[in-house]
């Protein structure tokens, strides 16, 4: 595969980044972020299940990774709810998505014996600078902002965890698409089971009133990942992964223009640092 990324692939990956930011904005825009998240996750699982009969099954060796990743995904959605319930998307989304590649790079070294390159250390510096700027802004602000920062960084830890699990599991699977869809399916089932047990009386009325969440949320969450997988078969993986990090910028724009959040120049500069660092980390 050459290092060139066709224009159609570039446009598709940018659209996938926009889709990822969009489903997060859908969840954030609802008054009940917990049930909104459940509907989005269930929608992704339902759409994925429809494709499973047409895909080869993952290898037996990958099923423990599927199980572990599904549990980690459920933890991720739980923390995502707490994060979006506590504060702004323009603060939390960049922290979550930007810190995860940093954590993966820092943890993966001791586990595999690989050392960070000079370019990766530069990316670490950019991300850390952006995170520190956001943290200082939140620390000097309200307790709500500090709480949002703490939940966002905890969520980033879970993202890094399932990223490392899937990095190993998908190599054992022999069927990356089916591997991913089974995780979506199990996560959706787990989220629905939680909602039925903890929010049973509220679930059906909320679902009826927010039925588009199931369809739109399911399409955007599954589609954003599916497009990325497709793009990685046609363009360099590092380039695709880096381009996906533009979701940080899309999320900030949506938060300001659609959700009406106030994004100060200082926060915007911090977001730009995190985004540039995340892209550099993927490309290094």
Is the Cα torsion angle 241, 262, 139, 266 positive or negative in sign?
A: positive
**Max CA-CA distance within the chain?**
55
Q: How sure is the predictor about 82, in pLDDT bands with cuts at 50, 70 and 90?
A: very high
What six digits make up the tokens of 49?
A: 């299940």
Residues in the chain: 284
As to burial, measured by CB atoms within 10 angstroms (0-12 exposed, 13-18 middle, 19+ buried), residue 227 is buried
pTM of the model: 0.86
- Mean pLDDT to the nearest integer, 263-277: 83
Taking residue 23's Cβ as centre, other Cβ atoms within 10 Å add up to 25
For residue 171, the model assigns a pLDDT of 83
Taking residue 136's Cβ as centre, other Cβ atoms within 10 Å add up to 12
pLDDT one-digit tens code per residue, 154-205: 999 998 898 888 888 888 888 888 998 999 999 999 999 999 999 889 999 9
User: Please, are residues 94 and 275 in contact by the beta-carbon 8 Å criterion?
Assistant: yes
């Amino acid at each position: 595969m050459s290092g060139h990324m066709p224009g159609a692939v570039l446009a598709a990956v940018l659209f996938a980044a926009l889709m990822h930011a969009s489903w997060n904005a859908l969840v954030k825009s609802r008054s009940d972020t917990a049930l909104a998240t459940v509907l989005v996750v269930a929608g992704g699982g339902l759409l994925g299940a429809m494709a499973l009969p047409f895909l080869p099954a993952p290898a037996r060796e990958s099923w423990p990774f599927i199980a572990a990743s599904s549990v980690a995904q459920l933890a991720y959605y739980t923390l995502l709810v707490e994060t979006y319930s506590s504060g702004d998307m323009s603060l939390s989304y960049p922290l979550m998505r930007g810190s995860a590649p940093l954590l993966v790079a820092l943890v993966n070294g001791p586990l595999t014996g690989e050392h960070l390159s000079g370019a990766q250390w530069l990316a670490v510096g950019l991300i850390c600078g952006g995170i520190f700027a956001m943290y200082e802004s939140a620390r000097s602000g309200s307790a709500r902002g500090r709480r949002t920062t703490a939940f966002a960084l905890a969520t980033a830890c879970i993202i890094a965890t399932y990223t490392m699990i899937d990095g190993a599991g998908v190599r054992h699977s022999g069927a990356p698409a089916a591997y991913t869809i089974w995780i979506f399916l199990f996560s959706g089932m787990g989220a629905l089971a939680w909602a039925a047990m903890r929010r049973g009386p509220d679930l059906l009325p909320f679902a009826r009133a927010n039925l588009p969440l199931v369809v739109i949320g399911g399409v955007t969450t599954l589609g954003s990942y599916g497009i990325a997988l497709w793009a990685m078969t046609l363009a360099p993986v590092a380039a695709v992964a880096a381009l996906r990090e533009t979701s940080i910028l899309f999320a900030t724009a949506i938060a300001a223009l659609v959700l009406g959040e106030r994004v100060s120049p200082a926060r915007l500069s911090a977001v730009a640092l995190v985004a540039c660092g995340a892209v550099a980390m993927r490309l290094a």
